[in-house]
Amino acid sequence: MVIIKAEQAIYSFAPDNKPVATVKAGEVAVFETKDCFSNQIQSSEQLFESADWSAINPATGPLGVEGAREGDTLVVDILDIETADFGVMTAVADMGAIPNLLDGSETKIVPIKNGWAEFSSKLKLPVKPMVGVIGTAPKVETIPCGTPGTHGGNMDTKEIRRGTRLYLPVWQEGALLAVGDLHALQADGEVLFCGIEVAGRVTVKVDILKEKTLPTPILETEDHFYIIGSAGDLDEAAKVVMEWTHAFLKERLPLSKNEVGMLMSLVCDLQISQVVDPLLTCRMAIPKAAFSPFQLSFGG
């Protein structure tokens, strides 16, 4: 099995990135990942401001997938997410969505034991490990790993967890998948600007849907499809996910445009993934059960 070490990191999703390892469709690969600070912050004495900014937001990879070409869709099954035994949170005086509510910069080291994050001696929270950064090489642009987009990237979407399947667009030969920025726990919004940032390992199985183009990342869980979109503000991000959701449902269901719109308004929750990255990310949740008479599926 291919194991990619955390030292094999990129800081941008770029069209001309070179694969550090290659697998065939249907094979499994492991990405060992540093946290979003490149593991530079190891104690509560170290503030975010002391970290080397050029090393922020690494993603491990990229992994090449044999046979993936522009116009295909990459299917990524997230088989497992393992985290280190502690994570890091940083309050930063001038970052995130709520700096005015804070009392200066602070670092908190959060021990993780037996599935619980020890926020304080009094407060333990159950972990829900997720992948913050996962994406493919874009068609033209070079996009820093801290920015989300139609290639995936820093989507900070809490539903990207073990047992889910992510569909990503392919623009470059081999797709060039990279993974990083694990969170032991993060709420919708990620308002402080971080979750419990943690190093770890992500095990994935990759596959290719040939000549199946995708406008944006789509996540499939046991119960839902999530159409994920990012833009400069929440209004625009919401608009793009609504448009893509309408197109996704219209293509797959024997319903009129108006009926699809009605059903979106009835059963598809518009949700916020994060409001703290260079672009903001929304998602629309499509509950499979609501469409059960039609056996809604992504389709091969």
Which CB sits closer to Ca ion, 66 or 106?
106
Give the DSSP letter of residue 49.
Answer: G
Taking residues 119 to 138 in sequence order and writing x for each that binds Ca ion by CB under 5 A, - otherwise, the string is -------------x------
Among 32, 72, 156, 220, binds Ca ion (CB under 5 A): 156
Residues 261-300 that bind Ca ion (CB under 5 A): none
Smallest gap from residue 197 Cβ to Ca ion (A): 5
Among 154, 157, 230, 273, binds Ca ion (CB under 5 A): 154
Which CB sits closer to Ca ion, 88 or 208?
88
- Dmax (CA) for the chain in angstroms is 59
Closest CA to 148 of 9, 283, 20, 248: 283
Q: Quick one: residue 176, left, alpha or beta (phi over 0 = left, psi -120 to 50 = alpha)?
A: left
Measured from each CB, the residue nearest to Ca ion is 132
Smallest gap from residue 24 Cβ to Ca ion (A): 30
Smallest gap from residue 198 Cβ to Ca ion (A): 9
- Identify the bridge partners of residue 216 per DSSP, sorted by sequence position: none
Q: In this chain, which stretch among 43-51, 89-97, 153-161, 231-239 interacts with Ca ion, using CB under 5 A? A: 153-161
Neighbours of 92 (CB within 10 A): 18
Q: Which residue has 């260079």 as its token pair?
A: 278
4, 19 Cβ separation under 8 angstroms: no
E strands, 232-274, are: 269-274
Closest CA to 143 of 277, 270, 274, 294: 277
In the chain, the amino acid numbered 256 is S
132, 154 Cβ separation under 8 angstroms: yes
Smallest gap from residue 180 Cβ to Ca ion (A): 9
Smallest gap from residue 42 Cβ to Ca ion (A): 16
Smallest gap from residue 278 Cβ to Ca ion (A): 11
Taking residues 68 to 107 in sequence order and writing x for each that binds Ca ion by CB under 5 A, - otherwise, the string is ----------------------------------------
- What is the token pair recorded at 70? 């522009």
41, 95 Cβ separation under 8 angstroms: no
Helix (H) or strand (E) holding 258: helix 257-267
Taking residues 165 to 194 in sequence order and writing x for each that binds Ca ion by CB under 5 A, - otherwise, the string is ----------------x-------------
Smallest gap from residue 249 Cβ to Ca ion (A): 29
Which CB sits closer to Ca ion, 38 or 154?
154
Among 36, 145, 170, 237, binds Ca ion (CB under 5 A): 36
The reply to whether 38 sits near Ca ion by the rule CB under 5 A is: no
* DSSP code string of 269-289: EEEEEESSSSSEEEEEEEEGG
Summarize as ranges the residues that interact with Ca ion (CB under 5 A): 36, 132, 154, 156, 181, 197
